[in-house]
Amino acid sequence: MNQRCPIDATRSALGLSALMILAGACGSSGPTKQLVDARETMQVAKASGTEQVAPNRMQDAQAALDQAERAHKDEPGSNTEANLAYVAKRKAQIAMASGKIVTSMHKEAQLNDQYHARLEQSQSQQQQLRAQALERQRQQAAQASQNADARAADALESLNEVATVKHQQKGTVITLLDAALFKTGGDTLSNDARESLDKVAAALEQQPKDTQIRIEGYTDASGSTASNETLSQRRADAVRDYLEQRGVEGSMLESIGRGESNPVASNATDDGRASNRRAEIVVKVPENETSPGMQPGMQPKNSRPNSSAKTPPEPQK
């Protein structure tokens, strides 16, 4: 019976061990777990678009991964490879975190821009609506003013039934015959005069509040100039007071006596003298409402020449 030599058995065992060591050495050439994780993390970062929002961070991470890849090539499975790969993975994670922050900031900026755009659009629309409302108000006010002016003008024209209405440079002149207003030589209004002045007052109440209304009293040339001026002033005052009593704003009224000046007819005849004994109501809306222009001879509003000194009435004035 043949027996195996102990030396041969020992040699066989040594050969098997060498093969196992060689196989283990060949198996250690693969990447470390850290390198595998770093590669995967970099792929996720690229897929998420981090390169577009955080390019500098991605460049740092890629450079760290390249170092780990070179270490793997030079010394597979080494601690150097593992350490560099870990650093590369962390930088890739930092790049993705930075990218999310940048993306969030971009979205916030976009939302902020959209908010301000909508706010500006809303403000613009509100301004347009306000402008349209103001324009409508302006048109309505202008129309109302035109309507009021038309009513005021119609009111004055309606006085043709009781007086002569003429449009002159100094304003609209309403002329009432003195013979119908007062008794001869007096300053007390007659009943017929009151009825006529009621209609005049109704028309004057429809005039704009900044209208200037001046009552001018006139006489014929009978008697002295001084007495004629005094009488004409008292008569103008009487008309003024009556109009105010009938509702015409007192601040719109003033009275002045013109005496025998500005005759409208000859004082040589009875008819001419009757025409000259008159009261004229001058209606004028100032062109400049902030600084109303005064006509020649016009006194300030509410002013009234001194008429307290009454003189005995004289005939046929």
Q: For residue 177, what pLDDT band results from cuts at 50, 70 and 90?
A: low
Q: Which backbone phi and psi does 73 adopt, to 5 degrees?
A: -70, -40
pLDDT at residue 223, rounded to an integer = 83
Q: Which of 68-82, 121-135, 159-173 has the lowest mean pLDDT?
A: 159-173
Q: Each residue of 110-121: pLDDT tens digit?
A: 999 999 999 999
- 211 or 178, greater pLDDT: 211
Number of helices (H), then strands (E), belonging to the chain: the values are 9, 5
Q: Is residue 295 part of a domain?
A: no
Q: Each residue of 227-276: pLDDT tens digit?
A: 999 999 999 999 999 999 999 999 999 999 999 998 989 999 988 888 88
pLDDT at residue 28, rounded to an integer = 54
Question: Mean per-residue pLDDT for 213-220?
Answer: 92
pLDDT at residue 193, rounded to an integer = 86
Q: Is residue 238 part of a domain?
A: yes
Q: For residue 178, what pLDDT band results from cuts at 50, 70 and 90?
A: low
Scan for tokens 């613009």, then name that residue: 124
Q: For residue 27, what pLDDT band results from cuts at 50, 70 and 90?
A: very low
pLDDT at 312 over 60: no
Residues 47 and 112 in one domain: yes
Residues 167 and 226 in one domain: yes
Choose the final residue of a domain: 149, 178, 206.
Answer: 149
Q: Is residue 65 part of a domain?
A: yes
Residues 126 and 234 in one domain: no
Residues 226 and 271 in one domain: yes
pTM as predicted: 0.51
pLDDT at 201 over 50: yes
d(Cα 287, Cα 250) in Å, to the nearest integer? 20
Residues 120 and 198 in one domain: no
Residues 77 and 189 in one domain: no
pLDDT at residue 278, rounded to an integer = 83
pLDDT at residue 11, rounded to an integer = 53
Residues 96 and 197 in one domain: no
pLDDT at 55 over 60: yes
Q: How many domains does the chain have?
A: 2
Say which CATH number the domain at 240 has.
3.30.1330.60
**Can you give the residue range of the structural domain that contains 130?**
31-149
Q: Is residue 262 part of a domain?
A: yes
Nearest alpha-carbon partner for 231 in 265, 277, 162: 277
Residues 200 and 266 in one domain: yes
Residues 55 and 116 in one domain: yes
pLDDT at residue 288, rounded to an integer = 52
- 179 or 37, greater pLDDT: 37
Residues 180 and 223 in one domain: yes
- The answer to whether 264 touches 277, Cβ cutoff 8 Å, is no
d(Cα 256, Cα 182) in Å, to the nearest integer? 16
Strand order in the sheet with 253-259: 164-168, 171-177, 278-284, 212-218, 253-259
pLDDT at residue 187, rounded to an integer = 85
Q: Is the dihedral of CA 54, 59, 60, 61 positive or negative?
A: positive
pLDDT at residue 26, rounded to an integer = 46
Residues 90 and 56 in one domain: yes
Q: Is residue 268 part of a domain?
A: yes
- 316 or 165, greater pLDDT: 165
Q: Each residue of 147-173: pLDDT tens digit?
A: 888 888 888 888 888 888 998 888 999
Choose the final residue of a domain: 149, 183, 218.
Answer: 149
Q: Is residue 17 part of a domain?
A: no
Strand partners, 120: none
Nearest alpha-carbon partner for 250 in 293, 205, 193, 281: 205
Q: Is residue 246 part of a domain?
A: yes
pLDDT at 144 over 80: yes
Residues 141 and 180 in one domain: no
Question: What average pLDDT does the structure give for the chain?
Answer: 82
Q: Is residue 304 part of a domain?
A: no
